[in-house]
């Protein structure tokens, strides 16, 4: 076994710690979406690149190599340590009844480390398999993002017709730091994630006369920091169908093409009570020769304590799979956004649901040709958005997905040590044509680095 292989687990750990400490990479993700002014903003996709192309498997998906943080019970199925890092790039076209615009954005999406607490290589050497297993994960992911830059001009009647300009700008977001544990006994796995939600958003609103010299400008600025504990519980049950046995001319023939499995999954959380801390500033400034000068401060309140309630959610899924050959499934998720409250910025949201499907196919996992070992994935989803605008219906979001998992050639010393590059393409649209319709293409890129030397006990040094 070469030296690099022995050090691979340290490389994974170092990469995770470096990525975690470089948290600014998350804040570099820029959003530009007028809908993010409503509620907590745009809720981030929690699917890693390995699952993003088949979003209908989020509740049931588990794999020896990949992490699924949607269901806390999935980590007990890991056979190797996995470090996952991913980002996305998005092209978006926004269209209203009167105008249109194009936006490009992207950034880091997630950072995660997961591993089994019992080394599977030791079990193979001992020729004794435990009936139970334990898994653990750490992850840092965005929860929601806020980003918009809007302008509205309208005319009022005074001694003459004057135009008032209002501008609205919002930036920031929130993030989740999570720690998960799961326990699997035979076909049943249960898990629990606990974590902390944190972040900060900034909302700024200006009003001023557009065609007046040395005009006065009214400014409203609200900066809110959020923080609170979160949790999620999950379970996965897997039933193996009986092995096909045929008797031909007094000979017993057993089907060795792989076991067929039926998997049921569920994960849920209750309402989250999140603390808020807000600074609010209302002031008036005057533009003198293009320079804004402070004139008056109407309100300046610092560190106003408040509360925000985030909604309860439950997701259930069904998957049918055959060992290392294919899997296909469907998910249903319901989120009670009507429970949302915010003492600083009260808004009314609607309950939402999501229906997704997904599938994965591997032509021949042991094949000589590289293309036969590629994981081909496809899926799609339809969901309702909790946000509405006066005069419009509840927004809908529909998308189709396609992706591949590209295995990285294992080392000659350890053929079981396989890592992956995961690519996923998502195309969809959401919003309401009467207000704003958004059509987008999103590319997910993820890297999975695996290692089977964690917790490995050598009999000989």
Confidence of residue 301 (pLDDT cuts 50, 70, 90): confident
Across 7-11, 269-273, 347-351, 393-397, least confident range: 7-11
Res. 4: pLDDT tops 50: no
User: Over the stretch 236-287, which tens digit does the pLDDT of each residue have?
Assistant: 999 998 876 655 555 555 555 578 999 999 999 999 999 999 999 998 888 7
pLDDT at residue number 374: 93
Confidence of residue 24 (pLDDT cuts 50, 70, 90): low
User: Over the stretch 99-134, which tens digit does the pLDDT of each residue have?
Assistant: 888 888 888 889 999 999 876 655 555 566 777 899
Across 26-30, 227-231, 367-371, 378-382, least confident range: 26-30
* CATH architecture for the domain at 3-451: Beta Barrel (2.40)
Backbone φ and ψ for 333, nearest 5 degrees, come out as -125, 135
Which tokens is 387 given? 């946000």
At residue 63, the 3 state secondary structure works out as: coil
Contact by Cβ (8 Å): 385, 393: no
pLDDT at residue number 404: 96
pLDDT at residue number 418: 76
Contact by Cβ (8 Å): 261, 239: yes
User: Over the stretch 195-223, which tens digit does the pLDDT of each residue have?
Assistant: 999 999 999 988 877 777 767 788 899 99
More confident call, 270 vs 165:
270
pLDDT at residue number 425: 96
Q: Stretch 345-360: mean pLDDT, rounded?
A: 94
- As a whole-number percent, the residues of the chain with pLDDT over 70 amount to 81
Res. 2: pLDDT tops 50: no
Closest C-alpha to 322, from 236, 238, 245: 238
Res. 395: pLDDT tops 90: no
C-alpha–C-alpha distance, residues 377 and 423, integer Å: 10
More confident call, 5 vs 68:
68
More confident call, 277 vs 288:
277
Contact by Cβ (8 Å): 51, 374: no
C-alpha–C-alpha distance, residues 156 and 164, integer Å: 7
Q: What is the CA radius of gyration of the chain?
A: 26
User: Over the stretch 177-186, which tens digit does the pLDDT of each residue have?
Assistant: 999 999 999 8
pLDDT at residue number 257: 59
Confidence of residue 11 (pLDDT cuts 50, 70, 90): low
Closest C-alpha to 432, from 29, 31, 30, 38: 38
State the residue for tokens 């919003």: 431
pLDDT at residue number 461: 46
pLDDT at residue number 48: 93
β-bridge pairing 132-157 and 100-116: antiparallel
Average confidence score pLDDT of the chain = 84
Domain extents for the chain?
A: 3-451
State the residue for tokens 């985030």: 310
pLDDT at residue number 377: 97
More confident call, 14 vs 449:
449
CA angle (307 as vertex; 306, 308 as ends), nearest 5: 135
pLDDT at residue number 3: 41
pLDDT at residue number 247: 56
pLDDT at residue number 311: 96
What pTM was computed for the model? 0.85
Q: Stretch 321-332: mean pLDDT, rounded?
A: 94
């Amino acid at each position: 076994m070469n030296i690099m292989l022995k050090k691979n687990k340290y490389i994974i750990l170092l990469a995770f710690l470096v990525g975690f400490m470089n948290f600014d990479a998350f804040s570099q993700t820029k959003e530009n979406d007028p809908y993010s002014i409503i509620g907590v903003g745009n809720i981030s996709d929690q699917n890693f690149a390995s699952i993003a192309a088949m979003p209908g498997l989020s509740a049931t998906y588990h794999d020896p190599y990949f992490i699924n943080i949607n269901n806390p019970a999935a980590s007990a199925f890991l056979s190797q340590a996995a470090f996952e890092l991913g980002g996305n790039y998005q092209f978006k076209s926004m269209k209203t009844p009167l105008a249109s615009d194009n936006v490009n954005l992207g950034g880091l999406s997630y950072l995660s480390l997961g591993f089994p607490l019992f080394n599977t290589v030791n079990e193979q050497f001992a020729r004794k398999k435990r009936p139970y297993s334990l898994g653990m994960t750490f992850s840092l992911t965005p929860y929601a993002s806020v980003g918009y830059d809007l302008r509205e001009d309208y005319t009022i009647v005074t001694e003459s017709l004057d135009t008032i300009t209002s501008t609205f700008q919002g930036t920031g977001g929130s993030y989740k730091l999570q720690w998960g544990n799961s326990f699997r006994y035979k076909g049943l796995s249960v898990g629990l994630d606990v974590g902390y939600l944190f972040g900060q958003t900034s909302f700024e609103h200006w009003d001023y006369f557009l065609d007046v010299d040395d005009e006065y400008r009214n400014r409203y600025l609200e900066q809110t920091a959020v923080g609170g504990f979160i949790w999620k519980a999950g379970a996965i049950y897997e039933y193996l169908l009986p092995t096909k046995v045929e008797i031909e001319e007094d000979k017993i023939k057993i089907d060795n093409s792989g076991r067929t499995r039926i998997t049921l999954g569920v994960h849920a959380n209750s309402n989250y009570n999140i603390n808020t801390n807000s600074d609010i500033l209302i002031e008036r400034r005057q533009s003198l020769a293009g320079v804004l000068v402070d004139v008056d401060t109407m309100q300046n309140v610092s560190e106003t304590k408040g509360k925000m309630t985030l909604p309860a959610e439950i997701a259930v899924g069904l998957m049918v799979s055959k060992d290392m050959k294919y899997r296909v499934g469907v998910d249903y998720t319901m989120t009670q956004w009507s429970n949302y409250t915010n003492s600083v910025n009260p808004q009314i949201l609607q309950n939402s649901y999501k229906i997704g499907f997904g599938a994965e196919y591997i032509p021949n996992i042991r094949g000589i040709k590289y293309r036969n070992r590629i994981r081909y994935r496809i899926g799609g989803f339809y969901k309702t958005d909790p946000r509405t605008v006066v005069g419009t219906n509840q927004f809908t979001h529909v998308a189709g997905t396609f992706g591949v998992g590209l295995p990285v050639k294992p080392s000659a010393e350890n053929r079981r040590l396989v890592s992956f590059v995961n690519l996923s393409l998502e195309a969809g649209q959401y919003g309401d044509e009467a207000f704003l319709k958004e059509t987008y293409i999103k590319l997910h890129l993820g890297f999975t680095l695996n290692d089977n030397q964690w917790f490995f006990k050598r009999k000989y040094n």
